[in-house]
Chains A and B, each alone.
Chain A
Amino acid sequence: MAIGELSGYQMGQATRDAFGDALAALGDEFPALVTVDGDVGNSTRTEPFALKYPERGFNVGIAESNMVSVAGGLAGAGKIPVVASFACFLLNNAFDQIRMSVAFPNQNVKLVGTHAGISIGEDGPSQMGIEDVALACSMPGVAVMVPADAVTAKKATRAMVEHQGPTYLRLGRPNVPALYDDSVDFQIGKSITLKEGSDATIIANGLMVSIAADAAKILSDEGINVRVIDMHTVKPIDREAVVSAAKETGCIVVAEEHLHHGGLGSAVAQVVSEEHPVPMGYVNVGDCYAESGDPMGLLEKYGLTAEKIASTVKAVKAR
């Protein structure tokens, strides 16, 4: 069964594709917008923008450290640089350049990491960004967004361009279910409640939101009515929504396509422990690197499934 099918969603565009469309469409409205690519624009989808505005699309070659600092310089010259690569090459390879050329000087650079998570599949672990959220969140002043579907990816693209200051937008490779229509309200730092519920809460982002929706269906068939929150912004996190979930539903499970440490799970746990401690559970890649394989097979093998979320909810509820 396809992701989202259980909960009745249709398959939609990949978040990277939605980003690419949205970015190209913003070029006239934001004349300062430029892209900086490291020889992967046809994968990250900055290519449509660069083809439409050739003089505003820079491809510095396979050189991510240079790419990021060049973006820092462009921001210093008043531009709004969107610098995109695979999440792993951007965050992991150019981490100090992000620190010193973007975060520390608080430059208005828009970092975009695609091919996040293990759902990239066959290319394997060297190409999977699974530490990126932890790395991005570790730096002061960087807003970190992980949209779940095409509509919110488009809205996140506009939001990041309008936002003053550094941002990191995390995007996926595969097509994902279409969760929202254009009327959805997307604001940096404000979560979306996909489904109301009072027995437990699943907080998820990215691809895992659709899988959480499927889990909610499994649970509702068993009489458990869970809330599903799309926490598309990991930083600054929507504290209010986390605290309400803890108070009103009594337990929280966090689902994300990321390593166990330092991602959305850690961010939610910090709020919960500070404001209203309740039992929590986690569904994520764990503390290991994955492997090559087909995307669905990998999600299954590494436990990123609706069934795993559902069983985790039950286990946490029983604590």
Chain B
Amino acid sequence: MALEAIKLSQDEMLAKAKDLRKHIINMTTAAASGHPSSSLSAVEIVTGLYFGGHLRLDPENPGDPNRDRFVLSKGHAVPVLYAAMAERGFFSVEETMSLRKLGSPFEGHPNLKRMPGIEASTGSLGQGLSIGVGQALGLRLDGKDSNVFVMIGDGEMGEGQVWEAIAAAAKYKLGNLIAIIDQNGYQQTGATKDVLDLKPFADKIAPFGWHTQTINGNDLGEALEALSVAASVTDQPSVIVSQTQKGFGILPVLEETGDLNYHGKPLSRELAEKALAHIG
């Protein structure tokens, strides 16, 4: 096998997105811990990256130097990454059900030492974009045309280091760097508008010298279009402000619990059944 960016039809991708959602629920409920709601908001973007023709990868050779990279800076959402990697052929879906168990490489946060295909060890928020800047600089230095995608949480944007990376990426005109802010409106202790309101992201980041787009990130069509536009920008770094809903796909189930943030909590078996039925 060689490097390949898989591109499914939109219908197939919609089905994939449903599969990813189900894997996320199953994994975290089996683990009885983890961050399902944080993972669910990111499903359309991650589906677009892995199955919309964006990430050139080879699961047989995850370290291929010419691959594209995806850094999940909001590392607590790693179930969405494991789900996509499983569907992409890095390992079986069944293996991911060992999430968070002793001895399993499917750790609670991404750990590149234990899993080929993981591009950065994250979990301390705020560092992924800087790592992405470094990767993008290195790839460009070697004359490669690989892209680096980094997903950041909207709460995570409070870390000063993210803004240092934004400045550095602009200085070096990193056209091969694409940041995605998963703006799901919540962080651990509440709504981002109450904890630390940094909106509007695009208006703040554009003056640094970035190309910006703001989309409904839970609309697969919009996500695909935005990723394509971002990839076509080659003379400056590009950010997609992906406006999403935390827990998208199972919102009625979360509504029932009275907690629309549902941060860092797995669904009970009973709620998981309802959620799976809702996803369909």
Binding site for B on A (CB under 8 A): 37, 39-43, 47, 59-66, 88-89, 92-93, 121-127, 291-294, 297-298, 301
Contact = CB atoms under 8 A, between A and B. Distances in A.
A93 to B, nearest CB: 6
Contact of B34 (A64, A89, A122): A122
B123 A59 contact: no
20 contacts: A39-B187, A39-B189, A40-B188, A59-B196, A60-B158, A61-B158, A62-B126, A62-B158, A92-B124, A122-B108, A124-B109, A124-B111, A126-B108, A126-B122, A127-B109, A291-B102, A291-B114, A293-B100, A293-B102, A293-B104
Given A293-B102, A294-B102, A297-B102, A62 B108 contact: no
Given A40-B188, A298-B102, A122 B159 contact: no
A41 B190 CA distance: 11
B155 interface: yes
Nearest to B122: A126
A124 B108 contact: yes
B155 A61 contact: yes
Nearest to A61: B196
B58 interface: no
A39 B108 contact: no
B185 interface: no
A93 B126 CA distance: 10
A62 B190 CA distance: 12
Contacts of A93: 124, 126
A84 B124 CA distance: 15
A113 B159 CA distance: 18
Contacts of B195: 39, 59, 61
Contacts of A127: 108-109, 123
Contact of B124 (A40, A59, A126): A126
Given A47-B189, A291-B102, A292-B109, 17 more contacts: A39-B195, A40-B188, A40-B189, A43-B188, A59-B195, A61-B155, A61-B187, A62-B155, A62-B156, A93-B126, A121-B33, A122-B34, A123-B108, A125-B109, A126-B123, A291-B114, A294-B101
B125 A62 contact: yes
A47 B195 CA distance: 13
Nearest to A62: B158
Given A122-B34, A292-B101, A62 B160 contact: no
B121 interface: yes
Contact of B31 (A41, A92, A122): A122
Contacts of A47: 189
A292 B104 contact: yes
A291 B105 CA distance: 8
A127 B109 CA distance: 9
Interface in B13-57: 31, 33-34
A185 B24 CA distance: 49
B217 interface: no
A310 B111 CA distance: 33
A126 B121 CA distance: 8
B109 A63 contact: no
Contacts of B75: 126
Nearest to B158: A61
B107 interface: yes
Most A CB within 10 A of own CB, among B34, B111, B121, B188: B188
A80 B106 CA distance: 42
Contacts of A39: 155, 158, 187-189, 195-196
B233 to A, nearest CB: 28
Given A59-B189, A61-B196, A291-B102, A123 B158 contact: no
A292 B107 contact: yes
Most B CB within 10 A of own CB, among A40, A62, A126: A62
Contacts of A89: 124
Given A40-B189, A62-B126, A92-B124, A292 B156 contact: no
Nearest to A301: B102
Nearest to A86: B124
